[in-house]
Amino acid sequence: MATIAPAPVGRGSGRPGGPGPGPGGEEPGRRAGASKARALRTGARTLPLVPAMVLLALFLLGPVVSSLYGSFTNASLTGYAAGGAEFVGFQNYTDLFVDRDFPKSVLLTLAFVFFSAVIGQNVVGLGLALLMRNGTKVVRSVVGTFVIAAWVLPEIVAAFAAYAFFNDSGTLNTVLSWFGVTGANWLYELPMLSVVLANIWRGAAFSMLVYSAAVQEVPPEITESAEVDGATGWQRLVYITLPVIRRSISTNLMLTTLQTLSVFTLIYVMTGGGPGTNSTTLPILAYQEAFQFSQLGFGTAIATIMLLVGAVFSIIYIRALKPEVD
Residue 69 CB neighbour total at 10 angstroms: 14
Q: Compute the half-sphere exposure of residue 307: CA atoms within 13 Å on the CB side of its CA.
A: 14
Q: What pLDDT score was predicted for residue 326?
A: 40
Q: What pLDDT score was predicted for residue 12?
A: 45
Q: What pLDDT score was predicted for residue 270?
A: 95
Is 20's pLDDT higher than 90? no
More confident residue, 274 or 6: 274
- Beta-carbon contacts of residue 309 (< 8 Å; ≥ 6 apart): 109, 261, 282
Where do the domains of the chain lie?
Answer: 107-321
pLDDT (mean) for 169-186: 91
pTM for this model (two decimals): 0.80
Residue 203's nearest CA partner among 246, 252, 163, 137 is 252
Q: What pLDDT score was predicted for residue 4?
A: 47
- Least confident piece of the model among 48-62, 64-78, 114-128: 48-62
Average confidence score pLDDT of the chain: 84
Q: What pLDDT score was predicted for residue 197?
A: 96
Q: Output the CA–CA distances (angstroms, integers) from residue 101 to 89, 141, 197, 279, 302, in the order listed.
A: 22, 45, 24, 11, 12
**CA 292 and chain centroid, separation:** 29
Q: What pLDDT score was predicted for residue 55?
A: 82
Q: What is the pLDDT of residues 127-142, one digit of tens each?
A: 999 888 887 788 778 8
Q: What pLDDT score was predicted for residue 125?
A: 92
Q: What is the pLDDT of residues 205-221, one digit of tens each?
A: 999 999 999 998 888 88
For the domain bounded by 107-321, which CATH number is listed? 1.10.3720.10
pLDDT (mean) for 68-87: 85
Is 8's pLDDT higher than 70? no
Which residue type occupies 205? Answer: A
Is 40's pLDDT higher than 90? no
